[in-house]
Amino acid sequence: MTLEFSLDSLVADACEAGCIVVGMHDKGALGASAARVDAASGGHITRLIASGDCTGKAGSSLLLHALPGVRAERVLLVGLGEPGALDAARFQRVAQEAACALASLPAQLAASFLGEIEVSDKDAAWKLRTLALAAAQHAYRYTATLKPQGPGVRLKRLVFAAAASAAQGLEQARGMAIGADFTRALANLPPNICNPAYLAERARQLAAEHPGVAVEVLERADMEKLGMGSLLAVARGSANAPKLIVLRWNGGGAAKPYALVGKGITFDTGGINLKVQGGIEEMKFDMGGAAGVLGAFLAAVELRLSINLVCVVAAVENMPDGDAYRPSDVLTTMSGKTVEVLNTDAEGRLVLCDALTYVQRFEPQAIVDAATLTGACVVALGKHASGLMSKHDDLAAELLAAGENTLDRAWRLPLWDDYQIQLESVFADFANIGGKGAGAITAGCFLARFTEGRRWAHLDIAGTAWSEGRKGMSTARPVPLLTQWLIDRAAADADSR
């Protein structure tokens, strides 16, 4: 991450920066700093309101140059909408509006006064974190496989006008933004670069650059010894060997670890059940769960959270081939349970089940997996909420709260045993698909069979991990949710000690 954040006690009109950012409500109600700028400039903003150039409507913004009486080169006036306190989601949209405008300016140093805006039920730390995360997100440009287009992002440093007590929000934003950048960079790469070996290499690099992080990569032969017949079956059609990546962070002494598990299908063709109904090119994002848990892991390490954390990524490519696994194959998973493959495109659960069995050797106190698992989840929840499934109400509540807090929201779907019959098979313990109806839930039910007796939750991020279309990019979700959950766990564990 290149954008740096800091915090200072600043006065809008006296602040020397390439750009200052101030807010104004609809109908000309200026925020405190906008009012200062207005007074210092002899009523410049008041005149713009009178002439109708400037409205303060939500979603609008206006860039003013060289205002008399104002030290900053530019003033970015951001519309806040209706007067009165903003709700959290509206504030986040304002933050994104401002971040988008800032990222296109030639200014290297900017100062934001948006932290003074009133937001219902949110403190200064939350506001700064939201502003900083939005700024980091909009300062990202994809450059891995093309020359930077235009001048690129010139903003280097963003200072927030706020009291020192809000510093914690900024520190959290730094961690989350570093994690999110890591996730985005991986997920946006094409699958001919980002294959299982590449993911493993990046994990090794992460460990090398961060003291206290241990890494282990299990190769095909290691997985054969462990009996990971399910994961290995999915891998068989690909010339790219599978990798099981294990990262560990020990910040919590002797406590049992939290575990994150990610689906890392670096490309999902569907296998012999080849994807023929369109959208196959988007399946480079099918490692979004892996990228997300790696990003959240990195964020936790950057924040030096006082917890133990283990992160397991099942990195596999799903390809059709003469040696590929077939529909009707019966596989023996690491757990010993057998699975009838009724569709080779339901491969995510087949790699995750062995990863979930493996991670239990660390005796985690909770396991959360993230996976771009089902198109059905996108049908149910669209691109706004991730699907959350868990039999543990307390764990589900923790994750939903972390999602609300960061506005990286999830919505719970039931994981009742009623759905389990959809997985019945006469040739194996159960099948890998559940037939018509409740596709996201039956996928969750499949995973539940490998996590019995464990505190476990599943996040289906098929709709939330990237924005669709030709210009679709990784959203870095669920890094904010997972990181917030880990921050909350560290705080709760500290309280109970």
Catalytic residue list: 275, 349
Query: Interaction with ligand BES in 433-492: which residues (CB under 6 A)?
Result: 433, 439, 462
Sheet holding 258-268, edge to edge: 213-218, 243-250, 308-318, 258-268, 366-371, 456-460, 386-390, 410-412
Query: Interaction with Mn ion in 341-360: which residues (CB under 5 A)?
Result: 345, 347
- Pick from ligand BES, Mn ion, Zn ion, none: which does 334 bind, CB < 5 to 8 A by kind? none
Q: Closest separation between CB of residue 246 and ligand BES, Å?
A: 23
Q: With binding defined as CB under 5 A, does residue 317 bind Mn ion?
A: no
From 27-35, 172-180, 338-346, 402-410, give the range in contact with ligand BES by CB under 6 A.
338-346
Q: With binding defined as CB under 6 A, does residue 324 bind ligand BES?
A: no
Contact, 113 vs 21, CB < 8 A? yes
- Going by C-beta distance under 8 Å and a sequence separation of 6 or more, which residues neighbour residue 195? 240, 266, 267, 315, 317
Q: Closest separation between CB of residue 228 and Mn ion, Å?
A: 18
Binding-site string for ligand BES from residue 274 to residue 303, where x marks contact by CB under 6 A and - marks none: ------------x-----------------
The one-letter amino acid at 439:
G
Candidates 444, 486, 473; CA nearest to 293 is 486
* Of 116 and 268, CB closest to Mn ion: 268
Q: With binding defined as CB under 6 A, does residue 317 bind ligand BES?
A: no
Answer whether the bond into residue 478 is a cis peptide, omega within 30°.
yes
Binding-site string for ligand BES from residue 352 to residue 391, where x marks contact by CB under 6 A and - marks none: --------------------xxxxx-x-------------
Q: Are strands 157-161 and 4-8 parallel, antiparallel or unpaired?
A: parallel
Rounded Cα gap, residues 288 and 293, in angstroms: 9
- Pick from Zn ion, Mn ion, ligand BES, none: which does 195 bind, CB < 5 to 8 A by kind? none
* Of 181 and 347, CB closest to Mn ion: 347
Contact, 371 vs 345, CB < 8 A? no
Q: With binding defined as CB under 6 A, does residue 213 bind ligand BES?
A: no
Rounded Cα gap, residues 449 and 428, in angstroms: 14
Strand segments (E) across 16-139: 19-24, 61-65, 74-79, 109-112
* Of 343 and 360, CB closest to Zn ion: 343
Residue of closest CB approach to ligand BES: 375
Q: Which of 46, 343, 360, 365 binds ligand BES (CB under 6 A)?
A: 343
Rounded Cα gap, residues 45 and 23, in angstroms: 12
* Of 348 and 439, CB closest to Zn ion: 348
Q: With binding defined as CB under 6 A, does residue 13 bind ligand BES?
A: no
Residue of closest CB approach to Zn ion: 268
Measured N-to-C along each axis, helices 288-302 and 167-188 cross at an angle, to the nearest 10 degrees, of: 150
- Which residues make up the interface to Zn ion (CB under 5 A)? 265, 268, 286, 348
Rounded Cα gap, residues 14 and 8, in angstroms: 13
Residues that bind ligand BES (CB under 6 A): 268, 286, 343, 345-348, 372-376, 378, 433, 439, 462
